[in-house]
Amino acid sequence: MFVSENLGVNEKGNLTIGGTDTVELAGQYGTPLYVMDEQAVRKACRRFKSSIDKYYDGKGLACYASKAFTCLEMCRIVADEGMGLDAVSIGELYTAVKAGFDVTKIGFHGNNKTDEELEYAVDVKVGHIIVDNISELLRLERIAEEKGVRPDIMFRIKPGIDAHTHDFIKTGQIDSKFGFALETGEAFEAVKRAIECKNVNLMGLHCHIGSQIFDIEPFEEAGRVMLKFIAKIKNELGYEIKGLNLGGGFGIKYLNEHDPVPFETYMEKVSEVVKSTCSELGITQPYIFIEPGRSISAPAGITLYTVGARKEIPEIRTYISVDGGMADSPRYILYKSEYEAIVANKATEERTERVTIAGKCCESGDLIGENMPLQHAESGDIIAVCATGAYNYSMSSNYNRLQKPAVVFVNNGESRIAVKRETLDDIIRNDI
């Protein structure tokens, strides 16, 4: 009935998430409110892990891409599920370290890492660093030499694949700021350089072709391209690359009409391609990493708002204004991303209207969505926007000096705060 499996309706006719009444959550914690369903996160982690076990004989690790949504509690849950982690900045890495995440399972990313970030990653002994460019390789070599260590590294490669998704979230094509290009020979030269270097251990290659991808073919193609490159390195340089990271990007259902391929199917197909390509090329099957972000956190989350003004502009549109907006939900203004919305206290009613849900920021483009089917909403109603668990909290801002909402986890009918709502003093805490 609703877009995410963990949503339902209780005897009061209120929307529930993970069995918890969303209207009560709004009353207890205030709005706007991010709500994450712990069991949904855990279930998604288990699906990734069991698919690797089933289709790739357990020779791989799913690393949660923490850019999608992270905080101490999220790291603890993901760690408890035995996942690895993809951290893309010192802030994400610090969060994971403070949460007690097993650092050996962390891959450290970033297309322009600072020396401070590289030094921190080396000091905390992350599992591996995914090197993006030559200048970074040279800086890391120097840092590793100074510290007398030899970190494991991977190279981020642009496999030259054009995934069918929004331009802003495509990354595998040659015209991308991420990684070494294959076509130009840049990647091969960098591999030669790394092999010669005493202070780093090139243990793998990485690619990530984009995000919110529904087809399997681009992933299969990326796998083939990367394995061919691994074979070329073996044949021409006599060097064995042991790890292959195929990135994240698995599409999720934001609207009922979306039909993403189940992750199990992805893993089955990609494993077949990896196995058959390896035997064709005469190379050892690599240890596989994948980096799902959105597919773990998005369906687990919703955002709750309270309706303020209702403005009907005859023949034009109806605006339903809520107490948040682009500061906590930036994906519409950035990508025109579509979401399902539900009036949480009228969840059994028909959606009889098409409305524009507007935020409270001083910006006309500050919308949660346009032309959204919705139950008749009035001031004081609670609106739930669904599948918002990825890239909303993590991309939120204090625009207009709005306070960032709290994050609450629900688990089998219980709820707890994971991130406190910002206070007015938080807003000025760094001002002098």
- Which residues contact residue 60 at a Cβ distance below 8 angstroms, ignoring those fewer than 6 apart? 52, 287, 288, 289, 290
For ligand LLP, which is the closer residue by CB, 22 or 171? 171
Terminus-to-terminus CA distance in the chain, angstroms? 51
- Which residues contact residue 108 at a Cβ distance below 8 angstroms, ignoring those fewer than 6 apart? 87, 88, 93, 117, 121, 126, 128, 129, 130
Min CB(137)–ligand LLP separation in Å: 17
**Rounded CA separation 348/344 (Å):** 9
18, 204, 249, 389: which one binds ligand LLP (CB under 6 A) = 249
Q: Which of residues 151-180 bind ligand LLP (CB under 6 A)?
A: 169, 171
4, 16, 51, 295: which one binds ligand LLP (CB under 6 A) = 295
Q: Is 291 in the site for ligand LLP (CB under 6 A)?
A: yes
Stretch that binds ligand LLP, among 36-44, 132-140, 207-215, 265-273 (CB under 6 A): 207-215
For ligand LLP, which is the closer residue by CB, 291 or 323? 291
3, 36, 68, 90: which one binds ligand LLP (CB under 6 A) = 68
248, 369, 389, 405: which one binds ligand LLP (CB under 6 A) = 248
Output the CA angle 264-270-273, nearest 5 degrees: 145
Quote helix, strand, coil % in the chain, to nearest 5: 35, 25, 40
Query: Going residue by residue from 111 to 150, which x/- string records binding to ligand LLP, judged by CB under 6 A?
Result: ----------------------------------------
Residue type, 427: I
Active site residue 362: yes
Q: Is 21 in the site for ligand LLP (CB under 6 A)?
A: no
Q: How far is CA 22 from the centre of its chain?
A: 24
**Rounded CA separation 15/358 (Å):** 21
Stretch that binds ligand LLP, among 194-202, 290-298, 299-307, 353-361 (CB under 6 A): 290-298
**Rounded CA separation 398/417 (Å):** 20
Residues in contact with ligand LLP, counted by CB under 6 A, come to a total of 24
Q: Is 211 in the site for ligand LLP (CB under 6 A)?
A: yes
Rounded to the nearest 10°, the torsion over CA 51, 169, 79, 129 is: 100
For ligand LLP, which is the closer residue by CB, 65 or 126? 65
18: helix, coil or strand? coil
- Centre a 10 Å sphere on the Cβ of residue 323 and count the other Cβ atoms it contains: 19
Q: Is 60 in the site for ligand LLP (CB under 6 A)?
A: no
**Rounded CA separation 17/277 (Å):** 43
Q: Are 204 and 187 in contact (CB under 8 A)?
A: no
Residue tagged active-site, from 63, 71, 207, 362:
362
38, 86, 328, 366: which one binds ligand LLP (CB under 6 A) = 86
For ligand LLP, which is the closer residue by CB, 131 or 197? 131
Q: Which of residues 360-419 bind ligand LLP (CB under 6 A)?
A: 390-391, 395
- Which residues contact residue 18 at a Cβ distance below 8 angstroms, ignoring those fewer than 6 apart? 6, 37, 38, 39, 40, 410, 411, 412, 413
Stretch that binds ligand LLP, among 70-78, 277-285, 287-295, 319-327 (CB under 6 A): 287-295
**Rounded CA separation 114/296 (Å):** 28
Catalytic positions: 362
Q: Name the residues that contact ligand LLP, by CB under 6 A.
A: 65, 67-68, 86, 109, 169, 171, 208, 211-212, 247-250, 291-295, 331, 335, 390-391, 395
